[in-house]
Amino acid sequence: MSVQGLFYAMPRHGLRALLVEPSAMDDYLQRGAEQGGPLAVLDQGSWWQQDMQRLPEIEPGVAVEGTLAQHCWAWPADMVNEGAQGLAAISASELVQRMHAWQKAQDGAPADIDALRHWVRRQAALRSFWQAAAQRRDAVLLYVV
């Protein structure tokens, strides 16, 4: 069974309400932005956990209990801003070095070029998502299903 990690950007005031009543989160995340749901979604698929391990610039969010998710973490707007700044400061060569180090720790083999390209593309999408959320002063959720 594959576990999917979905990042959601939402108005910071909406996060506060969901933290008070986390059982409402599942319904909220199913609504479109035009209906008062999340403003943006980024599907990191089964790679979410590796991304979080390799990107310490995104400090751990606040664990949220009481949802239907396997795991759920929230980042208030100030933490989103800090995370976006940290991600923006990572160079492409640093990303490649992290991928090589991670791959070597996993199985001792060097990362192949396709894996490196995939990693860099996913990080660009993640960086763009966090920067857009920071510009709007949004909160972010990582919802793992």
Per-residue pLDDT of the chain (145 residues; tens, 9 = 90+): 468 999 999 998 888 888 888 888 888 888 776 666 678 999 998 888 888 888 888 888 999 999 989 999 999 999 999 999 999 999 888 888 888 787 777 777 777 788 788 888 888 999 999 999 999 999 999 999 9
Quick one: pLDDT at residue 60? 85
List the domain boundaries for the chain: 5-144
Quick one: pLDDT at residue 108? 74
Quick one: pLDDT at residue 51? 84
Q: Which residues contact 83 (CB under 8 A, 6 or more apart)?
A: 57, 58, 59, 75, 130, 134, 140
Quick one: pLDDT at residue 2? 61
User: Starting at the edge strand that comes first in sequence, how are the strands of the sheet with 138-144 ordered?
Assistant: 40-45, 5-11, 138-144, 71-75, 62-63
Q: At which residue do the structure tokens 């909406």 appear?
A: 14
Quick one: pLDDT at residue 113? 80
CATH of domain 5-144: 3.40.1760.10
- Specify the pTM: 0.87
